[in-house]
Structure 1
Amino acid sequence: MRDCLYLDYFEYFAGEDGVIRGPAGDGRVAAVAQTDVARSAAAILKNPGRHANATYTLTGPEALTLTEAAAVITRARGRTVTFHHETIPEAYESRKRWPAPRWQYDAWVSTYTAIAGGELAEVTDDVERLTGRRATSLAELLAASPPAAG
């Protein structure tokens, strides 16, 4: 399985003010739910020989912009969440309020630049092929889980 962005964390991308900030522009991300990753891994472990040398790209069922993701969170949680596009320098500066090593700032910002660059936009049916169940959408995930602690 290749690297993936977890859908479970989208709600936490928003600050206390309800704004998701980052240099993602109108890029799309097909994030996957952690439960879908776990179910996929379990399916592989049940018959590892069948999956030898295979590569899977686990994604959610849709590729959303962060503006669209914010709207889904708003509808699900009843609180306004929006997306604000930052420049890369603004993104580094806004994250300085959290003490972290340089590599961590790079990791945080590069998640957004990967979205902007279309690197996380591919939607696959690998979760469904492995598990027999369609991947979980952001709306479905939020409907099934309690709100994030504010």
Structure 2
Amino acid sequence: MSRIVISGASGNLGRYVTDLLLEDDAGRALTLVTRTPSKLAHRVSDNISVRYGDFTDPASLDTAYAGGETLLLISSLNVGRRLEEHRNAIAAAKRAGIKYIVYTSFQGTHPRNPSLASQDHSQTERLLRESGIEHVVLRDSLYAEIFTNVVIAAAVPVGEFQMAAGDGIIAPVSKRDVAHCAVKCLLNPEYHAGAVYELTGPELISLHDLARIGSEFHNAPIKYVPVTPQERLALLDALGFPRTYSPEMDKNPAGAMWASDEMLAGDIALAQGFHAILSHHVKFITGREPETLWSVFERCKGKRYDEL
């Protein structure tokens, strides 16, 4: 039986992908790779191995990926440093004889995209092409849960949210849809190899639309207030966000870990239209319609972002 390796398995997306794979076949051979194996100790069984692996420790990845055929490479959160981490992961996959990689990239990949995340992912996609390993690229739109449980949840008490995103539009995708797409690609990598998918929700919306939907859902007045990049940065500073990402930084009250430089660059990319992308790839891959934003509001109500 071919073995699937999930790198980043203790994170939210990794856990959900694992659940879906085991729902499909409880005896599926899996290797779950994480920096904190204790979090997945309950998963160990005759067919499931839990191994330590750290993107900054190439030797650990050699051991972690050994014996695998298909790798789900869930991208690192380490903005500004994750390219080197991804380089280590891809090189280790090649040494381990991995035949296929499914990589969670980011929407809006373009050489002029100011988003720090997009720059990291664009370069990682290049590394994948140069590696010679068959691979699938899942370019995820921004998660719908970010908007429902971080942006709008924080706006309810004050009646507004501010971003330097101008009149940008986006089609947010749910984490669940990304997980379902990843599973389909992992189970049939020969079919999907070489594909680049844009994973989006079912409709493009503006941030004014987001405010309206959030207001209707929470039955509270909410508006979107466009601000300048300088004003946005001053607000994030006032809220106590660090300027630069660090793995040791505290989560914000919503349960997320973002730094202001990443968020501001993302706002500017949104304003410049780099995320104005709508596709039907979720349905193409899974056979099911992508989850609506309203459905994500209902499913995630009252939860922290890190609980989703």
Q: Normalising by structure 1, what TM-score?
A: 0.91
Q: Helix, strand or coil for the counterpart of 2:169?
A: coil
Find 1:28's aligned residue among 157, 164, 169. Answer: 169
Higher strand share: 2
**What amino acid maps onto 1:72 in structure 2?**
I
1:137 and 1:120 mapped to 2: Cα distance?
Answer: 17
The alpha carbon displacement at 1:18 in A equals 3.1
* Number of residue pairs aligned between Structure 1 and Structure 2: 149
Match in the other structure for 1:2: 139
Question: Cα distance, 1:54 vs. partner?
Answer: 0.9
Distance 2:243 2:227 in 1: 21
Inter-CA distance 5–61: structure 2 relative to 1 (3 Å threshold) = same
* Whole-angstrom distance in 1 between the partners of 2:301 and 2:226: 27
For 1:128, the equivalent position in structure 2 comes to 283
1:90 to 215, 231, 236: 231
Cα deviation, 1:67-102, whole Å, max 9, x if unaligned, reads 101111111121222100010100110000224133
Query: What is the letter of the counterpart of residue 109 of structure 1?
Result: L
**Residue 119 (str. 1) matches residue 274 (str. 2):** yes
Structure 2 distance, partners of 1:17, 1:65, is 20
Q: Kindly report which structure 2 residues correspond to 1:91-106, keeping only aligned pairs within 5 A, or say none.
A: 91-96=232-237, 97-102=239-244, 104-106=259-261
Q: What is the alpha-carbon distance in structure 1 between the residues aligned to residue 244 and residue 207 of structure 2?
A: 25
- Matched letter for residue 187 of structure 2: K
Which segments of 5 or more consecutive residues in structure 1 lack a partner in the other structure? Answer: none
Structure 2 vs 1, CA of residues 37 and 80 (structure 1 numbering), >3 Å: closer, same or farther? same
**Hey, what's the Cα distance between the residues in 2 that align with 1:133 and 1:51?**
17
The aligned counterpart of 2:215 is: 74
In structure 2, what is the Cα distance between the partners aligned to 1:3 and 1:132?
17
CA distance in 1, matches of 2:189, 2:299: 30
Report which stretch shifted further, 63-72 or 110-119: 110-119
Summarize the Cα distance change of 1:17–1:148 in structure 2 as closer, same or farther, 3 Å threshold. farther
Give per-residue Cα distances to partners, 1:76-129, cap 9 Å, x unaligned.
121222100010100110000224133521111122111111111110000000
Distance in 2, matches of 1:110 and 1:80, equals 28
1:13 to 139, 151, 154: 151
**For the residues of structure 2 that align with 1:81 and 1:43, how far apart are their CA atoms?**
38
Paired amino acid for 1:102: T
- 2:186 maps to which residue? 45
Identity among equivalent pairs (%): 28
> Please, what TM-score do these two structures have when normalized by structure 2?
0.46
Runs of 4+ in 1 over 3 A off after TM superposition: none
SS of the residue corresponding to residue 123 of structure 1 reads coil
Contact 1:8 1:34 in 2 (8 A): yes
Check 1:112–1:30 CA distance in 2 against 1; reply closer, same or farther (3 A cut).
Answer: same
State the one-letter code of the partner of 2:293. Answer: L
Counterpart Cα distance in 1 of 2:268 and 2:146: 17
Contact 1:77 1:147 in 2 (8 A): no
Q: Distance in 2 between matches of 1:106 and 1:117?
A: 17
- Secondary structure class of the residue paired with 1:124: coil
In structure 2, the partner of 1:55 is 196
